[in-house]
Amino acid sequence: MYDGTSRPPLFTPARRRHALRATAAAVALSAALLTAGCGSSQDTAQDAKATAPSAEGFPVTIDNCGVKTTYDKPPSRVVTIHQHPAELMLSLGLKDRMAGTAFPDSAVLPELRKDYEAIPELAKKEPSFERVLEAEPDLVYGGYGSAFAENEGRSRKAFTDAGIDTHLNREYCGKKRVTMKDTYNEIRTIGRIFGVSDRADKLVSKLQARVDKAATAVKGEPAAPVFVYDSGDKTAFTAGGKSLGTEVIRLAGGKNVFGDLDDVFGDVSWEQVVERKPEVIAIYDYAGAGSVEQKKKFLLSQSALKDVPAIKNKRFVVLPLTATLVGVRSAYAVEDLARGIHPESFA
């Protein structure tokens, strides 16, 4: 993936830090001189921005999770943190705008893999603030809230202060239950930011058609009780009622047995799992949480679960975690899960 070719071999992190500090000092000195001689540098920058020509259809103002950003032109160098924002951008044909990716957590969609691998990978997990700056982005697009973790120096304010815009996947605005409508709205919002609303509308139509086809195939079938197993041994970490996973399950002809859990994710006891008698277990697959086979082996080895219908019948459906998030994968997840819950409807 990332092979270090985006910067000269001898331009080490230490030298980069020195250069950043030197640049900051020079900017500060210039600002002081300008302030003393002919008004503030901030006024000068604002005047320049006001007189700069805007691209067709711009400016565009987006209110994202309470952060309002005005784009005078489409971003040209974007760093995505987490996989699903990257896949969304690639699905909109925006490979040429991507300066770096970070934190892949599952296999990339086959049709996007070649383009994804051509983009420099900045880190296997969330990159440091400095590492992101090295890619010289004009926008950082985060998938999870941790993309902008303040305690790790990556707050949205820190990027703003560095002159870099930010966008957070709407799933982590933390206000309400996430639905497929949020997926479609996220795609259209990114389309507006990059001036490709026509592509966004076409992509949404394509994904809606995929969802509608799967939902129609299982229409009229009894809703099978589904338990989502993300991870955990002492307790089970599962998808709650506010998660997109709950709607994916519903559209696929099932019912999340923990749909009454008032959160996106949460811990439940194994006794609760037994009580709710799931007929199907959806295993979320992602790096760092054990393999799918390890998860199956663990579930099948628990004597307390031996009478759970899904365990007795070994009914498992595997979904990449990225397929249950706001992004292009969720439409695929509906079809995959529907085939797992009601295979007879697709015979």
Q: Each residue of 64-85: pLDDT tens digit? A: 999 999 999 999 999 999 999 9
**Does 59 sit behind a cis peptide bond, omega within 30 degrees of 0 on the bond before it?**
yes
Residues 246 and 308 in one domain: yes
**What residues make up the domain containing 95?**
52-175
Per the domain annotation, does 3 fall within a domain? no
The pLDDT value recorded for residue 57 is: 87
Indicate the average pLDDT of the chain. 87
164 in the same domain as 279: no
Mean pLDDT value across residues 23-31 = 39
Angle at 59 between CA 57 and CA 61, to 5 degrees: 115
- Of the candidates 144, 159, 175, which is a domain's last residue? 175
Is 4 part of a structural domain of the chain? Answer: no
Residues 323 and 330 sit within 8 Å (Cβ to Cβ): yes
Domain end among 175, 202, 229: 175
Cα–Cα distance between 340 and 215 in angstroms, integer?
13
- Does 60 map to a domain? yes
Q: Is residue 29 in some structural domain?
A: no
Give whole-number Cα distances, 283 to 53, 238, 275, in Å: 50, 10, 19
Are both 329 and 225 inside the same structural domain?
Answer: yes
264 shares its domain with 159: no
What local confidence, expressed as pLDDT, does residue 36 receive? 40
Q: Which of 118, 150, 175 is the last residue of a domain?
A: 175
User: What amino acid is encoded at 208 in this protein?
Assistant: Q
Looking at the structure of the chain, the number of domains it has is 2
Burial degree of 215 (CB within 10 A; 0-12, 13-18, 19+): middle
Percent of the chain with pLDDT over 70: 84
